[in-house]
Structure formats: C-alpha cells, structure tokens
Amino acid sequence: MLLILAIVAIATAYYFLNLNYRYWKKRGVPGPKPTLLLGNLGPSFFLKKSPAEVYEDIYNDYQDVPIVGIYRASTPALVVRDPEVIKDVTVKSFSSFRDNDLQIDKSIDPLFGRHPFVLRGDEWKTTRVQLTPGFTSGKMKWIYPLLEDVSKQFVRFIESKPKALNGEGVEVKEICMRFTLNNVGSCAFGLEARCFEEENSEFRQLADRFFCPEAFQMVKVFLVSIIPVIPKLISIKFTPRDVEEKLTNIISQTLKYRETNNVVRNDFLQHLHQLKKTCTDYEFTDVDVAAHATGFFGDGYETSSIVMSFVLYELALNPTAQSTLREEISKAFEENDDQLPYDALQGLQYLDGVVNEALRMHPPAGSLQKICTEPYTYIPKDGDVIKQPVTIEKGTCIILPVNGLHHDPKYYEDPGSFKPERFIGVNKDNLTKYSFLPFGEGPRACLGQRFGILQIKIGVAYVMKNFELSLNKKTKRPLTYDPIYFMTSPKGGLWLDFKKIV
C-alpha cells in the first residue's frame, strides 16, 4: 500500500512539475524540449556553457523560427530571433518591454539598486534623463585631452614591461583594464588612479572586488539568470560593502576638496554634484551621487577593457588588418604634427570598422534579457512557422540572442572571419538592421556608448602607432568562455606579444 502511495505521489509531483513545460506548446510556439527542473539551461546548471552560449545554440537550432519558447528552470522565456521582432521589442513597442530582467532592491543595495540598468518604470526614465547630459559629444571633446594623456602613459607602461616585449607575453585584458581604470579616474573623478605605476592601486583593488568573474556577487547574478524565482525568495546585494564604503568615501572627499578649493571641472562628478543642487523631481541625496559615480566606475572600465582586449587580439591574429589600420593611424598622426586630435580620430573609418567588427565577434554581453511590461501580441507573417497570434504575457522574460545574431551567416557572410570592411561605407548601410546589438537598441541602449568607444579607439590608436602585435602561445585556442560570468570572459585570458616600432 505504501509503495502505491509513493508511486502516486511521485507521479503527481512529476505531472505538476511538467505542467508549466506545456506553456509554449499550448500557444503554438516551437522550442526545445525542457529537462525536468532545469528547463533548457541544463548546460549552464552543469557549468558547461554560459546562458548566452546556450541561447546561441538554441538560436542556431531554430533557423527560420522568429520566436522560440524556452524555460529557465521551470519559468517560460522567449528567445526572439527575428530582427524585425527585435525592432518591436526595443523600439516600436518599447512600452511593452521597457525594463531589464535583473532587479536589485535599493534598500538592500543602495548603490547598484540605483543603476539605470536595474531601475524600472518612471524611476528609470527620470534617472536616464538626468544622466544623459553627462555623455554628450561636447563632454567627450572636453575629456579627450585626458584620454590622450592616459594613452601616452599606456604606451610607456607597455614599454616598461619586459614580458610584453621579450616573448613571454602579457594578458591584454589585464593591461587594458589598467588603462580604462585610469581613464575613469581621470575623466569621471579628476583623480590619478595610478594603475600603471602601482601593481595594487586603490582603484585596481576596488575593481578586483567589483566586476570580477571570480567574485561571489557574480555567482549570485549567474544563479538569478538560470533560476529566475531566486529574487522572489532572497534579496540580492551586488555591491560588496567594503567597495560601497570605499567608493562613497573617495567621492565625498573629492567633492569636499573641490568645494574648499573652488575647483570646477566639466566632468561626470561635477554633473552629479550639480544634479544634487538642481534636481526638483525628488531629493537627490549624497547616496544618489555615490550610486551614479559608482555606476560610472563599474561601467566605465569593465566592458571597454573587454572590447579593447578583443580588438588587440583580433589585430594580432590578422596581420593584414593590423598593417592597414597602422597605415591609417600613422597617416593621421603625420598630418597633425604627431598628435591625434579628436576630429582626426573620429574620421578614422578603418579603426571604426575594426572596433565594430571586434564588437560583432566578441560582444561583452552575449545576450540581453528584457521583461514584458505590458501584454504584446506577436502576429505571424505569411508562411510563418507560427500559425496563430501569440500574446506575450506581462512578466515574461524576453531574450535577445546577441551572439546568435552576430555569428549568423545570414547577416554576416563568413562570420568567423575578422572583416572590418563589413562596417565601412556602403557595406555598413547594407547590414540588416537590428542584427547588431553590442550596445542594445532603442531608448534603453547603452548610455555610455560614446565614452566606451572613444577610450577604446584612442587606446588602440596609440598601441598601433607604437607596437606590432602578435599572438603569444599562452592564449588557449579555440577560445572557451567562463560559464558563470555574465560577460564574455575567455578562459586563460588573451596573451599577446608587443614589438616596439622604431
């Protein structure tokens, strides 16, 4: 009798656990078969692949299917493959998909909880409007000489590293991170971050505790991405308490110094300070200033150093592209008395192609997760594999499979080859819109894109002018990626050799 009861209990539990897995079938949306409890993210649960890699596999397995129904653990989510539908999600029907999936409670994490990426609804809108003037092209021109200065120091730093020049190799993400941290220190805070001079400067230590693939908070973000019910059960604190205290201290000391010494700089911190005085929407407190300055700190160095390291890696692998780029850059320096003014840098088309192509091949965010904020109905086109309208319910997670789109031969011929020409002139005009999403799209796209691109371009320009790059054998190829970190992080790093051009 007991045995029968146990069998009935197991069968009933199995039935109810599987019930949710009929969600997409009932709506006529194709998708891969889920595994009990894990859904379609089994490879991520077993740390074999990052969720972005799993979404890329699903993208590849469902050619010509515009939307694919999947499950993250037992929660339904939708992978949007068709660029036309992506346009709807990010722009045309933005009000239906206004928020990002990641949610952080401000009362638990006062700094990251105020980051525009995690803010929702009107709070997001107000903050976005407040921060946008900190990233105008006028501001970029103002900070440009600071970036030039750090780039010259970067060249001297590489020259002073014997391992870079003697064949032992250096890990480029590490040195690019020192470069971007110094830029952030200088451009946002008016401080010398001293990441070239000191092995373990304060900024460097903060970075190690903050956005680091091994850091504990990354494991939490990973768990939330594969088991979406977690935030309903426990609150997530992203910023470690010591980082929170140190950054808040740096910021308040800098502002105090500026006030006592009447220092006015046209930088991001000044913009935040001004907001504190002028904001009428709500009381813009010191915590708001610290939160957005911390946001600039984190956003400013990590993604840009990832992209810059991949740019240098691809140039090392592609000597022809490297010489074409060096020629373009050297010419610009020659025409400007051995300097590279802002307008000259902006005019470098091949450099623009190189950066975009590296962003295409190795986007730091291999997928983007949105949340449906108002019901939206997908209407199938003629000949669609989906035969009936599908209403996406409020609360459903929408996945934009950035890696899948960027590597799809339908949009990028020979996608595994590094071809900067794709992003130059008429070729660029002919690219399929909404198939290139390194910064997202629409009103919620990256706010710091201008700053990110600018610091990458000037850094790469100075490296190209001064060094020839080649791959060091310590780079493990083919590249494989850290499955836990939510950004693209190659295992073992990217190791290059530098040869000084005399």
Which residues are documented as binding site for heme? 446
Residue 125 interacts with ligand HEM (CB under 6 A)?
no
Residue 307 interacts with ligand HEM (CB under 6 A)?
yes
Residue 445 interacts with ligand HEM (CB under 6 A)?
yes
Residue 444 interacts with ligand HEM (CB under 6 A)?
yes
Contact 157, 273 (CB under 8 A): no
**Continuous segment of H or E residues that includes residue 392:** strand 390-392
Residue 358 interacts with ligand HEM (CB under 6 A)?
no
Residue 459 interacts with ligand HEM (CB under 6 A)?
no
Specify the residue, 100 or 217, whose C-beta has the smaller distance to ligand HEM: 100
Distance CA 471, CA 498 (A): 9
β-pairing, 99-100 vs 368-371, is antiparallel
Specify the residue, 329 or 398, whose C-beta has the smaller distance to ligand HEM: 398
What is the smallest separation between the CB atom of 370 and ligand HEM, expressed in angstroms?
7
Rule CB under 6 A: choose which of 404, 452, 459, 483 binds ligand HEM. 452
Of 353, 325, 338, residue with least CA distance to 428: 353
Give the bridge partners for 69, in sequence order.
Answer: 78
What is the smallest separation between the CB atom of 287 and ligand HEM, expressed in angstroms?
17
CA distances from 446 to 131, 364, 439 (A): 12, 12, 5
Residue 448 interacts with ligand HEM (CB under 6 A)?
yes
Rule CB under 6 A: choose which of 144, 451, 486, 495 binds ligand HEM. 451
> Which alpha helices (DSSP H) does 29-136 contain, by range?
42-45, 51-61, 83-87, 121-131
Distance CA 57, CA 67 (A): 14
What is the smallest separation between the CB atom of 451 and ligand HEM, expressed in angstroms?
4
Query: The tokens of 175 are what?
Result: 């040195």
DSSP code at position 369: E
Residue 158 interacts with ligand HEM (CB under 6 A)?
no
Distance CA 59, CA 82 (A): 10
Residue 117 interacts with ligand HEM (CB under 6 A)?
yes
Residue 446 interacts with ligand HEM (CB under 6 A)?
yes
Rule CB under 6 A: choose which of 185, 228, 438, 493 binds ligand HEM. 438
- Beta strands of 117-275 (E only): which ranges? 170-171
Specify the residue, 299 or 357, whose C-beta has the smaller distance to ligand HEM: 299
What is the phi-psi region of residue 59: left when phi exceeds 0, alpha when psi lies from -120 to 50, beta otherwise? Answer: alpha
Stretch that binds ligand HEM, among 13-21, 80-88, 297-305, 428-436 (CB under 6 A): 297-305
Contacts of 397 (CB under 8 A, 6+ apart): 72, 75, 76, 77, 78, 101, 228, 369, 370, 371, 372
Stretch that binds ligand HEM, among 209-217, 246-254, 291-299, 428-436 (CB under 6 A): 291-299
Residue 234 interacts with ligand HEM (CB under 6 A)?
no
Query: The tokens of 86 are what?
Result: 């992506």
Contact 29, 78 (CB under 8 A): yes
Distance CA 130, CA 89 (A): 24
CA distances from 379 to 30, 80, 90, 394 (A): 15, 13, 17, 17
Residue 303 interacts with ligand HEM (CB under 6 A)?
yes
How many CB atoms are located within 10 Å of the residue 457 CB? 23
Stretch that binds ligand HEM, among 71-79, 103-111, 294-302, 320-328 (CB under 6 A): 294-302
Binding to ligand HEM (CB under 6 A): which residues in 90-109?
100
Q: What 3-state class would DSSP assign to 29?
A: coil
What is the smallest separation between the CB atom of 272 and ligand HEM, expressed in angstroms?
12
Residue 412 interacts with ligand HEM (CB under 6 A)?
no
Specify the residue, 49 or 139, whose C-beta has the smaller distance to ligand HEM: 139
Residue 128 interacts with ligand HEM (CB under 6 A)?
yes
Stretch that binds ligand HEM, among 165-173, 274-282, 300-308, 387-395 (CB under 6 A): 300-308
How is 145-173 classified by DSSP, letter by letter?
Answer: HHHHHHHHHHHHHHHT-HHHHSSS-EEHH
State yes or no: cis peptide before 478, omega within 30 of 0.
yes
CA angle centred on 433, ends 428 and 438, rounded to 5°: 85
Stretch that binds ligand HEM, among 205-213, 256-264, 320-328, 364-372 (CB under 6 A): 364-372
Residue 356 interacts with ligand HEM (CB under 6 A)?
no
Specify the residue, 137 or 200, whose C-beta has the smaller distance to ligand HEM: 137
Rule CB under 6 A: choose which of 296, 462, 485, 486 binds ligand HEM. 296
Contact 116, 295 (CB under 8 A): yes
Stretch that binds ligand HEM, among 205-213, 258-266, 362-370, 372-380 (CB under 6 A): 362-370
Stretch that binds ligand HEM, among 190-198, 248-256, 442-450, 494-502 (CB under 6 A): 442-450
Residue 272 interacts with ligand HEM (CB under 6 A)?
no
Q: Which residues bind ligand HEM (CB under 6 A)?
A: 100, 116-117, 128, 295-296, 299-300, 303-304, 307, 364-365, 368, 438-440, 444-448, 451-452
